[in-house]
Amino acid sequence: MAESILKDHNLKSTSSRRKVLSILEESDRPLTAEEIYSLFPANEVHLSTVYRCLRSFEREGIVKEETNAQKENVYSLNKGDDTHVLVCVKCHKRVPLKGCPYHEVNERIEKETGFELEDQNIEIYGICGDCKKSKG
């Protein structure tokens, strides 16, 4: 799949780019550049190469850059849908929400501000049911 993504965006297919895309495809959560880098074999690439790949992917709309609870930049494949996730602050479990509960809010924001919204990614932090049970 990585090869076709690169071709569709007229990006040169390098082993580093293919590997970064494969890592993001296989991940069940957004990753920092350092986490992506750590999944390469030792001495295969420099961290700066990973950042360059991510920046070119972001410019092309292939990946999304977000900020996680630790205020780190994290990256995930842009699948063209709004992403809303519940994140447990204790065990870090991530539960994706189905659908977008924010469409009405977005329409109101656009009407009130004249701002055209293009994308959104929302993480909602709390304590999951399992952690609540073990707490009490």
CA atoms within 13 A on the CB side of 114: 0
pLDDT at 26: 94
Q: Phi first, then psi: what are they for 50, rounded to 5°?
A: -60, -45
Q: What is the pLDDT of residue 120?
A: 72
Q: What is the pLDDT of residues 92-114, one digit of tens each?
A: 888 878 777 777 888 899 999 99
State the pLDDT at residue 82. 65
Q: Which residues contact 50 (CB under 8 A, 6 or more apart)?
A: 16, 20, 33, 36, 37, 40
d(CA 65, CA 50): 14
Residue ranges in the chain modelled with pLDDT below 50: none
Q: Tell if the pTM clears 0.85, that is, is over it.
A: no
The closest of 64, 63, 68 to 85, measured between CA atoms, is: 68
Q: What local confidence, expressed as pLDDT, does residue 122 receive?
A: 77
Tokens standing for 28?
């069940």
> Domains plus CATH for the chain?
2-77 (1.10.10.10), 83-135 (3.30.1490.190)
